[in-house]
Amino acid sequence: MSAQTLVNSLADSARVASRTLSIATGAERKAALQTIADAIESRSTEILAANEKDMEAGRTSGLNSSLLDRLLLTPERITAIAGGARQVSELPDPLGNTLRKSTLSNGIQLEQISVPFGVIGMVYEARPNVTVDAAVILLMSGNAALLRGSSSAVHSNEVLVQVMRDALASTTISADVIQLVPSDDRETVKALLNARGKVDLVIPRGSAALIRMVVDESTVPTIETGAGVCHVYIDEFADLSKALPIIINSKVQRPSVCNAAETILLHSAVANDFGPVALKALHEAGVVLHCDDASLAIAKSVGIPASLATAENFCTEYGTLEINVAIVESVDAASAHIAKFGTQHTEAIISENDHNVKRFIALADCAAVMVNTSTRFTDGEQMGFGAEIGISNQKLHARGPMGLEAMTTTTWIVTGNGQIRS
């Protein structure tokens, strides 16, 4: 069987199964998610054993530390995954909501309501938590899921999908609303991207290269989730007691994720006093420093090892304990740097000056702006969505962390009483 035939068959099964979602009530979808969460926790030993197979294979094949961190499941992470599913189940039902309603002069009533897309494909790398996050968000929003993870997480994904499908067997919703697309053949990715008419939407989540490939090659509509070259700008009016822990948290708390900071921008008015403190703290946290000429001079003056940053450094999403540092002369200069090297993901300003904050926000063309807080809060769970399907940095349909509402489209209900058009 060819990859295209296989994917088309999975999509057809998902389409038929999605009808059980179409007629399921919000309460039934909620109960299904809670059943899935319970099953994930009760079968955690099985899940961890499968994940260890993937981790062992990853270490043997030389996966870098960032990918290994994304691949790893622990008891705490499994508890968090199940908790995310429960949080999604407690959110307001995104379906059947009236967005607009009016009556025309001829008596016809118009109502625009939220409805599912139908069948949504996910293409993602390494992270088995995405398998569950995506499935539960899509299920709660009435969509069937075609999940194509990477071969590096094959054992983890197979078990997680089986656990969720087994859980659905006790509900009114068909298990076929969750389908795992095999990852042992790279052609299945191309097949999913070319299943136009059978798959309604594809969402990539992973490296910049993966996202670009999906966007460039897909004939199915896509939502582009973005690479994160995120910046923290320390303004001349910053409260430096806030600035240091924000810098450290933005970079160090979990460097492998897309909302981790990759560049620190220091206003020249605070660079000489605060720069050595910040560079020393980053160095002591194990962060490798890449500095522009001015900040490199500061690093050398206090004996902090650093290399000269290149243009390539400034546009790199490291995903590891590396960061760039540059000194700028103003909010506008910081914004210009971000416009040149950023990816329209998350940008942060640390400042007590309202004018500068508002100017930074106005110039920051991105999915999320953080004011006096860490870039790490650009996250569906942290922002109250329970979980997220991804973080979109495009401008059509959805932007920022995508939760339930982002996975819906609309239908117009036009109700008359015998009217005909003249």
**8 A C-beta contact, residue 244 and residue 277:** yes
Residue 246 burial (C-beta neighbours within 10 Å; 0-12, 13-18, 19+): buried
250, 158: one domain: no
391 assigned to some structural domain: no
Distance of alpha carbon 141 from alpha carbon 30, whole angstroms: 10
177, 240: one domain: no
Distance of alpha carbon 354 from alpha carbon 88, whole angstroms: 35
| Residue 213 pLDDT | 92
Q: Residue 249's domain spans which residues?
A: 230-377
317, 370: one domain: yes
200 assigned to some structural domain: yes
Report the number of distinct structural domains present in the chain: 2
388 assigned to some structural domain: no
148 assigned to some structural domain: yes
| Residue 329 pLDDT | 97
278, 240: one domain: yes
31 assigned to some structural domain: yes
97, 221: one domain: yes
Instruction: Judge if pTM exceeds 0.75.
Output: yes
Q: In this structure, how many other beta carbons lie within 10 angstroms of the beta carbon of residue 79?
A: 14
| Residue 7 pLDDT | 97
| Residue 189 pLDDT | 95
137, 88: one domain: yes
385 assigned to some structural domain: no
Strand-pairing partners, residue 391, are 401
206, 352: one domain: no
244, 166: one domain: no
H or E stretch including 146? strand 144-148
189, 241: one domain: no
User: Tell me, what CATH number does 249's domain have?
Assistant: 3.40.309.10
Judging by DSSP bridges, how do beta strands 391-392 and 400-401 pair with one another?
A: antiparallel
| Residue 395 pLDDT | 78
165, 266: one domain: no
207, 255: one domain: no
Per-residue pLDDT in tens (0 to 9) along the chain, 422 residues: 899 999 999 999 999 999 999 999 999 999 999 999 999 999 999 999 999 999 999 999 999 887 898 899 999 999 999 999 999 999 999 999 999 999 999 999 999 999 999 999 999 988 899 999 999 999 999 999 999 999 999 999 999 999 999 999 999 999 999 999 999 898 999 999 999 999 999 999 887 788 889 989 999 999 888 778 999 999 999 999 999 999 999 999 999 888 999 999 999 999 999 999 999 999 999 999 999 999 999 999 999 999 999 999 999 999 899 999 999 999 999 999 999 999 999 999 999 999 999 999 999 999 899 999 999 998 877 887 767 788 888 877 788 888 899 999 999 999 999 998 98
